[in-house]
Amino acid sequence: MKNDLKELTEQHVLIIGYVWVEPNSSAAGSRMMQLIEQFLKHNFKITFASPAQKSEKATSLSSLGIDEVSIELNNASFDGFIKELQPTIVMFDRFMMEEQFGWRVAENCPNAIRILDTEDLHFLRKTRHQQLKKGEEFTTEALLKSDDAKREIAAILRCDMSLIISTYEMDLLKSVFKVDEKILYYLPFLLDKIDDHQQEKWKSFDERANFVFVGNFFHKPNVDAVLTLKTEIWSEIRELLPKAEVHIYGAYANQQINQLHNKKEGFIIKGFAEDAKEVVRNARIVLAPLRFGAGIKGKLTEAMICGTPSVTTEIGAEGMCDRFPWNGFVENDFSDFALISAELYRNKNLWKSYQLTGAEIINEIYDKEKLGVLFINQIKEIQENLEQHRTQNFLGNLLQHQTLQATKYMSKWIEAKNSIQ
């Protein structure tokens, strides 16, 4: 495919959001804004619809010229809405939205391209969590037995294009689940390149202090990571660095997180950060001892953007840096994790060398100018060959047919039940 952008006319994308967009609260919110920015850049008209309640942290999409619409689950009002809207593209934010609305889109707007933004593979994260709680080693056999995997992969198969955020997840879908790569599209975070001028503005080793963790606490891997940091790692770091502190930031901290606050031990719960990048720019090291999860970790790309080395686990770094060395250390043993964190914290030369590798990863893997053009071109290519593209996706057609029957009547039953209550 050529890199030059193909001509697009009269494109209207309907995004069906699982939640309203909160780019300052989570990596998922940042990811959605990155996609929205690409559509706006290429002159798409955008309508964003969601059945969720808006929180005070939700960004104002209307200020960007985007129509915001509240929709309802299991309600025929959506049929009239999309018939009138007639978008050329419908993008589902996570597979749950495809399950709820995909059949209605297919029935009422059959010529619209259906795109699934997976965010990350939810079944991968959930299965890892279940195995961790059972004390079991992660295996792909457990994934093959997962009902969540069946649901999410069915949604992928029903769509014309699914956005897969990490190389690990692309390989998993192709090798373990035998999903045809024609309906998969690798699209990591879309980030600005870090030029020399930006690197010169990074704060130096001596201008920085403390460790930091940033994460949304609605997200279970983040809760587990902070608990792990407190119980398995921090006391060893403090023995080596008695004056060091770790500052924990994140939206929606619950009592389980807040009660970990202990100023005497240097374990400080800070709460929501209005500007997470500013927090990370002033820290010396990002710690992310993730024991389960999936996708790309926003806290770790954020560290790279801010010139802040990080220490994480194999799951933390998974699918994120391709052939490039990590901008810090990747370690699963938590005693070693503490030792290398302390060493990186006090070794200026080591710290500076890892600071630079983060910029290389961002510039080579996450360049939004290059990735954005390829993404929009891929949409155009599918639009130009939509009938053939769908004919070749036989399993998708089969599932679409069956789902249209089963989900449609289940939804209509719920709708009828709700109307008489």
What distance in Å separates the CA atoms of residue 92 and residue 116, rounded to the nearest whole number?
5
What distance in Å separates the CA atoms of residue 43 and residue 289, rounded to the nearest whole number?
41
Residue 6: its pLDDT value, please? 44
Distance from chain centroid for Cα 10: 29
Beta strands in 138-245 (DSSP E): 161-164, 184-186, 211-214
Residue 307 lies in a domain: yes
Burial of 160 (0-12, 13-18, 19+ CB in 10 A): buried
Q: How far is CA 207 from CA 202, 265, 401, in A?
A: 10, 23, 61
Q: Which residue type does 222 have?
A: N
- Name the strand (E) or helix (H) holding 270: strand 267-271
Same domain, yes or no: 357 and 249: yes
Same domain, yes or no: 361 and 373: no
Same domain, yes or no: 212 and 277: yes
Residue 5: its pLDDT value, please? 46
Residue 403: its pLDDT value, please? 62
Distance from chain centroid for Cα 232: 27
Residue 70: its pLDDT value, please? 96
Q: How far is CA 21 from CA 115, 129, 273, in A?
A: 18, 26, 16
Domain boundary pick from 326, 345, 365: 365
Domain boundary pick from 339, 365, 391: 365
What distance in Å separates the CA atoms of residue 158 and residue 397, rounded to the nearest whole number?
7
Domain boundary pick from 350, 365, 380: 365
Residue 407: its pLDDT value, please? 63
Residue 7 lies in a domain: no
Same domain, yes or no: 304 and 216: yes
Those residues of the chain that have pLDDT short of 70 are 1-9, 401-417, 419-421
What is the β-pairing status of strands 161-164 and 113-117? Answer: parallel
Q: How many CB atoms lie within 10 A of CB 416?
A: 10
Q: How many CB atoms lie within 10 A of CB 59?
A: 17
Same domain, yes or no: 336 and 375: no
Q: How many CB atoms lie within 10 A of CB 394?
A: 11
Q: What tokens were used for 48?
A: 């964003």
Residue 108 lies in a domain: yes
Residues 6+ apart with CB under 8 A from 24: 57, 59, 251, 273, 274, 275, 276
Residue 56 lies in a domain: yes
Same domain, yes or no: 166 and 208: no
Structural domain including 125 reads: 12-191+368-419
Same domain, yes or no: 152 and 282: no
Same domain, yes or no: 246 and 165: no
Positive/negative CA dihedral, 188, 190, 196, 197: negative
What distance in Å separates the CA atoms of residue 289 and residue 233, rounded to the nearest whole number?
9
Residue 5 lies in a domain: no
Same domain, yes or no: 285 and 185: no
Residue 4: its pLDDT value, please? 46
Same domain, yes or no: 270 and 402: no
Q: What is the pLDDT of residues 160-169, one digit of tens each?
A: 999 999 999 9
Residue 346 lies in a domain: yes
Residue 6 lies in a domain: no
CATH number at residue 255: 3.40.50.2000
Residue 29: its pLDDT value, please? 86
What distance in Å separates the CA atoms of residue 140 and residue 172, rounded to the nearest whole number?
9
What is the β-pairing status of strands 285-288 and 211-214? Answer: parallel
Residues 6+ apart with CB under 8 A from 117: 31, 32, 35, 91, 92, 93, 94, 162, 163
Question: How many domains does one find in the chain?
Answer: 2
Same domain, yes or no: 320 and 377: no
Residue 167 lies in a domain: yes
Same domain, yes or no: 296 and 330: yes
